[in-house]
């Protein structure tokens, strides 16, 4: 077994972007220096003549604007808004830089990865920051440009790729320095005689910076924050004040680097700061060697301190410096002469092997007619929830033992994944929302105006990326690479077992209640009305059909196969589509049988809408939140319409269907307008809520939905 403590025994070759080959035991260049061209050529030969099994890459996000925490009281740019980027967000330079990383990876690993994106071959993970999420989207965009069958738009040479992240407080792999034990031990280290003696050597410089910045400078970390404030302002083109000339950049760089030494001052701090990440690389490698995973690439979008702590832990710093934007560490797992081993590469983004493989594409952004009933002059906020796009079947849940297509691989999409048609559908949703809310949202993507959430499924994550691509096409000044008419917009999600808002039907208490309800006399009597159909379908599918939920799953199996172009077996003709569809829809109502089940199925979502609306009304922020966007499933749409008592015609909501709950201010009254777009050819329909109308005053809307608002602990998530 590979173990964390065994890392020192591994032979690691680190190649820096300036061409030096570094021996980690010595920490300085060998006598020989090779050219960048030779490094690239050698890498190509290596990839051609040995077996590469896997690679893991961790990289720093792209160039960005300053965080508020990095500015100082006397900062002449303290109130600078950095519009339209926002605070602590990627700039166009940063977007270009990250896009080039993906291009370089595609050039290096083209044969290894194959021409198609396939969900099983990559695990991409980001920290919980907008700039790292956007950076990861940019790397993925150039790493997996759509090819052949995966081209879903002839002009837009881009496809959505889902990513994952964990909230900062729970992310030990990329945020080990946030662990409670780390924070406690770090504080103790700061007070140690050794560190205090080191700090005292810079007392004069600390006093000078404090006097001129208005900060209380007592630690290397204080200067470390000043470093980012000054460097980002300078890069943005702002002139630094005269007082900085004495300490910037040399002294502040020198002192800031010492923060990495503090981060890894003790063995325990090092284990938490970098060890969890190293351990994950080793465990992932072990799984690959044991053939227990199909993954070929692990991508991590992170920060300079992740690289700094990693290099400190492995004693790999060639010289003291802050890793630049887009710098990375790459770990390749090779099989050479019956031996598994690592080869590791890094860059400082000077020359390295970041070759500009530009993906050129153009798109004409068309706008649809504005839907009837839309008045942007009174609109203050909109909440939009939509269903993902067309997809392939989920083999585990939706197919049946006698299914003639049971072993179909659905290459290159994969099981339960978006198809090309689905990508078109979701991109169209984004363009329709742009047409509808164009003047309301404004010309630019600005992080403050939108909060985008998805469920933890590839198809909803990819759908959300497509909607965001159509909703926020870059303006001329947003274009970060010639010919690339797309910009990354980050999104958020929670793991399936933690997401009460969009996946309340997976709450432990909901699942228990659902089983109890299906065994109740009332529901069993309903099932009994369809005994003949249950038996017929059981006989021909090989399933044991005992409830509506079985038809619900069968509906998706048959509909996705038929849409994919497969001919359904003859036995389906007597029950498809009407009977199967009708019985599948019945499950929506079974799933909402009791008050508590309705509260979990839709109540957490309604509660969030109401609370977000209240915050908007009392907020004085500019421009403030304008849209909450949710990528979810057909049951989210159906159950919401049922809760609002506007599910008039029973149906399964179509792919890309959406509901918008718009908050308007009309005649000094805040109210809700509900629009439903099911792509039936009539455009978004303004719905009338019983006992409230098509413009439902907010206080009345809150009263009507109050019965659905759940107690916080109803879900059963600990």
Domain ranges of the chain: 50-178+276-347, 180-264, 381-439+452-503+627-708, 507-591
CA pair distance 140, 134, nearest whole angstrom? 10
Mean pLDDT of 384-399: 96
* Per-residue pLDDT at 155: 81
Output the pLDDT for position 154. Answer: 80
To which residue do tokens 């659902």 refer?
514
Mean pLDDT, all residues of the chain: 88
Q: Give 336's pLDDT tier (boundaries 50, 70, 90).
A: confident
Judged against a pLDDT cut of 90, whether residue 24 lies above it is answered with no
User: Over pLDDT 70: what percentage of the chain?
Assistant: 89
Q: How large is the angle between the packed helices 250-263 and 304-314, nearest 10 degrees?
A: 60
Which CATH number is associated with domain 381-439+452-503+627-708? 3.40.50.1240
SS3 714: coil
| Token duo for residue 687 | 């719905």
Range with the lowest mean pLDDT among 165-179, 186-200, 313-327, 541-555?
A: 313-327
Q: What is the pLDDT of residue 375?
A: 62
8 Å CB contact between 56 and 300:
yes
Tokens at 453, concatenated: 């959430």
Report which of residues 577 and 43 the model is more confident about: 577
Q: Which residues are catalytic?
A: 388, 634
pLDDT of residue 485: 87
536 pLDDT more than 70: yes
The beta-strand segments (E) located in 455-598 are 492-493
Q: Is 601 within 8 Å of 505 (Cβ atoms)?
A: yes
Residue 359's CB: how many other CB atoms inside 10 A?
A: 18
- The predicted-structure confidence for 109-127, as pLDDT tens digits, reads as follows 999 999 999 999 999 999 9
- Topology of domain 50-178+276-347, CATH: Rossmann fold (3.40.50)
Q: For residue 30, name the pLDDT band (cuts at 50, 70, 90).
A: very low
Asked if the model's pLDDT at residue 28 lies above 70, the reply is no
What is the spatial distance between Cα 528 and Cα 43, in angstroms, rounded to a whole number?
67
Cα distance between residue 630 and residue 608, in whole Å: 12
Neighbours of 199 (CB within 10 A): 18
Beta pairing partners, 676 = 659, 685
In angstroms, the CA 323 to CA 257 distance is: 10
Instruction: Tokens 């990865």: give the residue.
Output: 113
Q: Is the peptide bond before 84 cis (omega within 30 degrees of 0)?
A: yes
Provide mean pLDDT across the span 266-281.
Answer: 95
Place of tokens 């309301």: 440
Q: Is the dihedral of CA 179, 183, 189, 195 positive or negative?
A: positive
How many angstroms separate the CA atoms of 50 and 410, rounded? 31
What confidence tens digit (pLDDT) does each residue in 178-235 have?
Answer: 999 999 999 999 999 999 999 999 999 999 999 999 999 999 999 999 999 999 999 9
CB neighbours of 664 closer than 8 A, spacing ≥ 6? 375, 378, 379, 380, 670, 671, 672, 673, 695
Q: In which band, very low, low, confident or very high, does the pLDDT at 374 lie, cut at 50, 70 and 90?
A: low
Reported pTM:
0.78
| Contacts of residue 140, Cβ cutoff 8 Å, sequence gap at least 6 | 102, 124, 161, 163, 299
Q: Crossing angle, helix 531-541 and helix 548-563, to 10 degrees?
A: 50
Q: Is the pLDDT of residue 345 over 80?
A: no
- Alpha carbons within 13 angstroms on the beta-carbon side of residue 527 total 19
Q: Decide: 56 and 330 in contact? Cβ < 8 Å.
A: yes
**pLDDT top residue among 149 and 408:** 408
Q: Is the pLDDT of residue 373 over 60?
A: no
Assign residue 148 a region: left if phi > 0, alpha if psi is -120 to 50, beta otherwise? left
- Within this chain, domains 50-178+276-347 and 381-439+452-503+627-708 share the same CATH topology: yes
Q: How much is the pLDDT for 718?
A: 77
359 close to 484: Cβ distance less than 8 angstroms? yes
Say how far apart CA 570 and CA 564 lie, in whole Å.
17
**Burial letters 434-464, b for 16+ CB under 10 A, else e:** bbbbeebbeebbbbbbbbbbbbbbbbbbbbb
The answer to whether the beta carbons of residues 577 and 559 sit under 8 Å apart is: yes
**How far apart, in whole angstroms, are the C-alpha atoms of residue 703 and residue 701?**
5
- Alpha helices (runs of H) in 417-486, residue ranges in sequence order: 420-441, 458-471
Give residue for tokens 């970041």. Answer: 354
**For residues 698 and 431, what is the distance between their CA atoms, to the nearest angstrom?**
29
Sign, CA dihedral 127-133-135-140, equals: positive
8 Cα distance to chain centroid: 34
- Considering only residues 377 and 693, tell me which one the structure prediction assigns the higher pLDDT: 693
What tokens were used for 278? 């190293």
Which pLDDT score, from 0 to 100, does residue 347 have? 62
Give the DSSP letter string of 317-331. Answer: -SSS-PPPTT-EEEE
User: According to the model, what pLDDT value does residue 578 have?
Assistant: 96
Comparing 31 with 146, the larger pLDDT belongs to: 146
Joined together, the tokens standing for residue 481 give 């690479």
How open is the CA angle 87-93-94, to the nearest 5 degrees?
60
Residue 440 reports pLDDT greater than 60: yes
> What 3-state class would DSSP assign to 347?
strand
Q: Transcribe 111-164 into DSSP letters.
A: HHH-SS--GGGEEEEE-SSHHHHHHHHHHHHHHS---GGG--SSS--------E
Do 625 and 451 contact (CB within 8 A), yes or no?
yes
Give the Cβ contact number of residue 625 at 10 Å: 18
Residue 371 clears pLDDT 90, i.e. is over it: no
Residues 3/282, Cβ–Cβ less than 8 Å: yes
pLDDT value of residue 316: 83
Please state which of the ranges 28-42, 163-177, 254-268, 496-510 shows the lowest mean pLDDT. 28-42
pLDDT digits (tens, 9 = 90+) for 561-600: 999 999 999 999 999 999 999 999 999 999 999 999 999 9
Q: 623 versus 511: which is more confidently predicted?
A: 511
pLDDT band at 649 (very low <50, low <70, confident <90, very high): confident
DSSP state of 418: B
pLDDT number for residue 383:
98
């Amino acid at each position: 077994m590979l173990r964390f403590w065994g890392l020192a025994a591994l032979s690691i070759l680190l190649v820096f972007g300036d061409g030096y080959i570094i021996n980690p035991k010595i920490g300085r260049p060998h006598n020989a220096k090779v050219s960048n061209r030779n490094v690239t050529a050698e890498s190509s030969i290596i990839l051609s003549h040995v077996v590469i099994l896997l690679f893991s890459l961790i990289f720093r996000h792209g160039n960005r604007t300053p965080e508020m925490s990095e500015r100082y009281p006397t900062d002449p740019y303290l109130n600078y808004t950095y519009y339209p980027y926002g605070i602590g967000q990627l700039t166009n330079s940063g977007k270009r830089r990250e896009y080039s990383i993906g291009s370089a990876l595609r050039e290096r690993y083209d044969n290894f990865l194959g021409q198609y994106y396939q969900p099983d071959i990559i695990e991409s993970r980001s920290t919980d920051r907008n700039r790292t999420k956007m950076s990861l989207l940019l790397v993925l965009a150039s790493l997996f440009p759509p090819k052949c069958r995966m081209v879903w738009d002839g002009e837009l040479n881009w496809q959505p790729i889902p990513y994952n992240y964990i909230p900062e407080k729970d992310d030990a792999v990329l945020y080990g320095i946030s662990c409670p034990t780390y924070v406690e031990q770090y504080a103790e280290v700061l007070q140690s005689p050794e560190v205090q003696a080191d700090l005292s050597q810079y007392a004069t410089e600390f006093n000078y910076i404090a006097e001129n910045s208005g900060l209380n400078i007592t630690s290397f970390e204080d200067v470390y924050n000043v470093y980012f404030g000054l460097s980002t302002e300078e890069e943005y083109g702002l002139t630094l004040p005269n007082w900085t000339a004495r300490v910037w950049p040399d002294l502040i760089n020198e002192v800031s680097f010492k923060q990495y030494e503090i981060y890894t001052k003790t063995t325990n701090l090092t284990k938490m700061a970098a060890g969890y990440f190293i351990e994950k690389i080793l465990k992932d490698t072990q799984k690959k060697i044991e053939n227990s995973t199909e993954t070929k690439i692990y991508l991590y979008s992170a920060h300079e301190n992740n690289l700094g702590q990693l290099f400190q832990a492995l004693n790999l710093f060639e010289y003291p410096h802050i890793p630049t934007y887009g710098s990375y560490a790459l770990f390749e797992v090779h099989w050479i002469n019956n031996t598994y081993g690592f080869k590791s590469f890094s860059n400082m983004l000077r020359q390295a092997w970041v070759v500009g493989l530009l993906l050129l594409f153009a798109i004409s952004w068309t706008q649809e007619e504005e839907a009837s009933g839309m008045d942007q002059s009174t609109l203050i906020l909109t909440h939009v929830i939509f269903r993902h796009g067309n997809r392939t079947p989920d083999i585990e849940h939706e197919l049946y033992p006698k299914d003639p297509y049971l072993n179909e691989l659905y290459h290159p999409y994969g099981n339960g994944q978006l198809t090309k048609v689905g990508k078109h559908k979701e991109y169209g949703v984004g363009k329709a929302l742009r047409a509808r809310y164009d003047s309301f949202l404004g010309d630019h993507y600005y992080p403050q105006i939108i909060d985008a959430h998805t469920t933890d499924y590839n198809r909803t994550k990819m759908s959300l990326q497509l909607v965001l691509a159509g909703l926020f096409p870059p303006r001329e000044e947003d274009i970060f690479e010639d010919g690339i008419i797309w910009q990354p917009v980050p999104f958020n999600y929670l793991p399936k077992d933690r997401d009460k808002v969009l996946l309340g039907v997976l709450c432990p208490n909901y699942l228990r209640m659902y089983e109890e309800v299906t065994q109740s006399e009332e529901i069993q009597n309903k099932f009994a009305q369809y005994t003949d159909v249950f038996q017929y379908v059981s006989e021909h599918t090989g399933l044991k059909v005992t409830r509506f939920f079985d038809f619900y799953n069968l509906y998706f199996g048959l509909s996705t196969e038929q849409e994919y172009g497969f001919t359904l077996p003859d036995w389906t003709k007597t029950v498809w589509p009407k009977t199967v569809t009708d019985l599948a829809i019945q499950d929506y109502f079974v799933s909402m049988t009791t008050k508590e089940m309705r509260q979990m199925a839709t109540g957490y979502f309604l509660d969030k809408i109401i609370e977000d609306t209240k915050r908007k009304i009392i907020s004085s922020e500019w421009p403030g939140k304008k849209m909450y966007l949710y990528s979810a499933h057909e049951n989210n749409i159906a159950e919401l319409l049922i809760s609002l008592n506007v599910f008039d015609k029973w149906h399964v909501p179509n792919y890309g269907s959406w509901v918008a709950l718009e908050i308007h201010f009309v005649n000094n009254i805040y109210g809700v307008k509900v629009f439903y777009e099911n792509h039936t050819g009539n455009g978004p329909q303004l719905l009338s809520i019983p006992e409230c109308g098509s413009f439902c005053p907010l206080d009345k809307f809150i009263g009507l939905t109050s019965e659905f608002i759940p107690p916080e602990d109803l879900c059963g998530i600990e």
